Structure 1
Amino acid sequence: MRKSTVFFLCVILLWSCSEEEPIAPTPKPPADKLTYTIDYFKAVALGVEFGNASAITRKWNMPMKIFVGGEAQAVLQQELIAIVDELNVLTTDNFAISITQDSLESNCYVFFGSSTSFVKVYPASASNIQSNWGLFYYFWNAQNDVYKSVVFVDTHRTRNDAERKHLLREELTQSLGLARDSELYPESIFQSAWTTTNEYAEIDRDLIRLLYHPTVKSGLTANQVDPILRQAWKDFHPN
C-alpha cells in the first residue's frame, strides 16, 4: 500500500501586528455578492500561508475530535464550545466537531498556556513560537484530506480574554482548511492585521458554508472549484 506523504502548515500571528497597526478599508466589492465571496474563498482557502504546497482546496473528511491541554481556563473552554456549536451549524457535508476528554481518540489538540510549555509538548513549534501568540499546524494525506491538527493559544503573553478568544477562533477556523490570511475585510476573522474580532463576519460564515458543502471536495483548483461554488451558493442564498 502506498504510504501517504504528510505535510504540515503553520499559520502565525506576529507580534508586529498590534492594535495600533492600521487596517486597510474594506474594498468596494464587485457588483454581486457571489463574485466577491468566491474571490475571497480563493484567496483564503486555496493553498497555504507559507511553503510551496499547491493552491487547492483542503478540508476534513472525517469528524474533528478536539482534546484540550495546558491551562484550560473556564472562559476559554466555554468559548471553544460556542465556536464548535457555530461551526457545526454552518457545515452541511456530515462533517462535525466534538470535544473529547480522551486524548487517544482525538485528532485535534488545542493547547492553552505559555509558549515555553507548548514547545515542550510540541517541539516542532520551537522556531515559530517566540514571536507568535497563536498558531496552528494541520496535516493532510495524499488525497488532500485533513486528518490532524494542533492549535496553540498563548494565555501568558496575551493581555485579556478578548485577545485569547480571537486567537482561538481564528486558529481553529483556519485549521479547517481556510488557511490563508488576507488584507481584505477588516471585520473578517481571516484579516491579516492584528484585531480582536470575536465573531464571524457574514463573509466568513459564507466561506465556511462553501468549503463544507457536500459538493466541494479536497484537491480542487481555482478553475475547478469556481462552478461548484456558484452552484453550492444557491443552497443558502436561494434568491
Structure 2
Amino acid sequence: MATARRYRANRLGARATALAAAALVAGCAVAPDPSPPARATGNLPVREAPPEPRSPASADADLRSFYAGVEKQLVDSGRLRRDPAPADLPFTDDDLIRDFVRVALYDEYTDVNGRFMHAERPALLRRWETPVRVAVMAGGSEPAEEAARDRSNVAAFTQRLAHLTGHDVALTDGNGANFLVLFMTTAEREAFANQVHETYPDFAPAVITALRNASIDNFCITYAFWDKTNPSVYSAVIVLIRAEHPAFTKMSCVQEEMSQAMGLPNDSPDARPSLYNDDLEFAVLTEHDAILLRMLYDPRLKPGMSVNEVLPLLPAIAADARAAEERDSGVTLAVN
C-alpha cells in the first residue's frame, strides 16, 4: 500500500486544513442545529498518573511508553481479545435486537454549551446515504513505516465496511473526502484544531474544544456530522486516533471508530461479544458487530426511523443478517 500522506509536526499546512474543510464544509462549516453527534471510546483503566508534559519530543515518547503500558495491562487482564467469534459468548437473535436498539438508536454524547458531555439519549436511526470517501492523514512525527501500516489497516477495513453494509465506501487520496482518519500526536492535534478554527471560526465549537483538549484517558474519538437538510443522514466524519498508541491499539481504534461512524454511535454494557462496550473486552470487530452493521444498512430500514418504527422489523432483519454473516464466514455462530 502507498505511504500515508504526511504533514510536518511544526506545520500541518494548508493542504491538511483544506482537506478537512473539503470534507466538512458541506455539512457543518457552521455547527448544525441540533449539535452534531459525537462519541468517544471507552476510557483507559489508568492506575497511575499520566506523564507530565515536557518538550514535544519527550512528551510524545512519554505518552508512547504510557500507552504501551496500558495496552499490556489490558491484555494481561484478559481484555482486548482478538477472537471475533468466541465460543464462550453465544448470542441469540433477541440479543442482537436488544443491542441494535441500544447501539444504533441512542447517542452517547451531547453538546452542552460547546462541550461534549457523556449523556445518553434516544435518537432516530442515522446512517450514510451518500458515498463514503475515506482519507488518511498522519502527522509528521509518525515514522514512515508506522504511517504505511496505519493506512493499510484503514484501507483493509474500508473494504470490509463496504462489504458488510453494501454501501459505497472506498479509500481516496483526498479528493472528495468526507471521512477523515487522523493519526496525530497531542501537539499535532492541537495545531490542526487551531488551523481549522482560524480558517473557519464558526466551525462547531464543541469539536474544536474536544480536538484541543482530548483527555489522556480516551483511546480515540469520532466526530460525526449530519446533513443540514436531513439530521438523520451523515455528511462527514472525523476519526482521531492518537499517534502515540502502539500498533495493536491503533488497529483496534480503526475498527471500532470506523464501524461506529457508519451509524452505530452508542456503547452498551450488555453488548457481548462486541467492540461496542466500554469494558474493552474485545479489540476487533466481532461477528456480533458485523451482523449489527448488516442490520443497519438493510433496505427495510430508513434514516429517521424511531425505535417504535424499527422494532417490528428487527426480528426478520436480524435473522437475515445473521444468515448472511454465516454464509460469508462459513462458520456457524454459537446460539443459546
TM-score, scaled relative to structure 2: 0.60
Would the aligned equivalents of 1:68 and 1:109 in 2 still touch at CA under 8 Å? yes
- CA distance in structure 2 between the aligned counterparts of 1:14 and 1:62, rounded to whole angstroms: 32
Query: Which position in structure 1 is the counterpart of 2:96?
Result: 37
**Matched AA of 1:12:** T
- 1:228 maps to 2:281: no
- CA distance in structure 1 between the aligned counterparts of 2:89 and 2:322, rounded to whole angstroms: 22
- 1:164 maps to 2:223: no
**Matched AA of 2:154:** L
**Matched AA of 1:82:** A
Q: Percent identity?
A: 21
- 1:80 maps to 2:115: no
Whose helix fraction is larger, Structure 1's or Structure 2's? 2
Among candidates 34, 55, 70, match of residue 138 of structure 2: 70
CA displacement, residues 149-208 of structure 1 (integer Å, 9 cap, x when unaligned): 00011121x2x211110011111111111111122355411121234613x211101100
**Matched AA of 1:171:** E
Would the aligned equivalents of 1:13 and 1:135 in 2 still touch at CA under 8 Å? no
Would the aligned equivalents of 2:226 and 2:233 in 1 still touch at CA under 8 Å? yes
Query: Which position in structure 2 is the counterpart of 1:145?
Result: 233
TM alignment of 1:169-188, pairs within 5 A: 169-188=255-274
- CA distance in structure 1 between the aligned counterparts of 2:102 and 2:162, rounded to whole angstroms: 23
**Matched AA of 2:280:** W
Structure 2: gaps spanning 5 or more residues:
1-29, 47-69, 80-87, 111-118, 140-145, 194-207, 325-336
Q: 1:35 to 1:194 in 2, by over 3 A?
A: closer
Would the aligned equivalents of 1:11 and 1:179 in 2 still touch at CA under 8 Å? no
Among candidates 213, 222, 237, match of residue 298 of structure 2: 213
- CA distance in structure 2 between the aligned counterparts of 1:167 and 1:97, rounded to whole angstroms: 18
Q: 1:36 to 1:195 in 2, by over 3 A?
A: closer
Q: 1:165 to 1:134 in 2, by over 3 A?
A: same
- CA distance in structure 1 between the aligned counterparts of 2:321 and 2:99, rounded to whole angstroms: 17
Among candidates 106, 123, 126, match of residue 177 of structure 2: 106
Would the aligned equivalents of 2:78 and 2:281 in 1 still touch at CA under 8 Å? no
Aligned-partner SS, 2:39: strand
TM-score, scaled relative to structure 1: 0.83
Would the aligned equivalents of 1:67 and 1:101 in 2 still touch at CA under 8 Å? yes
- The offset of 1:146, in angstroms, is 0.8
Would the aligned equivalents of 1:57 and 1:220 in 2 still touch at CA under 8 Å? yes
- CA distance in structure 2 between the aligned counterparts of 1:126 and 1:116, rounded to whole angstroms: 9
Aligned-partner SS, 1:69: strand
Would the aligned equivalents of 1:67 and 1:110 in 2 still touch at CA under 8 Å? yes
Query: Which position in structure 2 is the counterpart of 1:48?
Result: 107
Would the aligned equivalents of 2:273 and 2:288 in 1 still touch at CA under 8 Å? no
CA displacement, residues 24-68 of structure 1 (integer Å, 9 cap, x when unaligned): xx8885xxx221101010111112112265422111111111111
Q: 1:237 to 1:153 in 2, by over 3 A?
A: closer
- 1:155 maps to 2:243: yes
Q: 1:9 to 1:21 in 2, by over 3 A?
A: farther
Aligned-partner SS, 1:227: helix
Aligned residues: 226
- CA distance in structure 2 between the aligned counterparts of 1:10 and 1:90, rounded to whole angstroms: 22
Query: Which position in structure 1 is the counterpart of 2:42?
Result: 13
Aligned-partner SS, 1:73: helix
Structure 1: gaps spanning 5 or more residues:
none
- CA distance in structure 1 between the aligned counterparts of 2:243 and 2:237, rounded to whole angstroms: 19
Aligned-partner SS, 1:61: coil
Aligned-partner SS, 1:7: coil
Would the aligned equivalents of 2:41 and 2:278 in 1 still touch at CA under 8 Å? no
Which range moved further: 146-155 or 51-60? 51-60
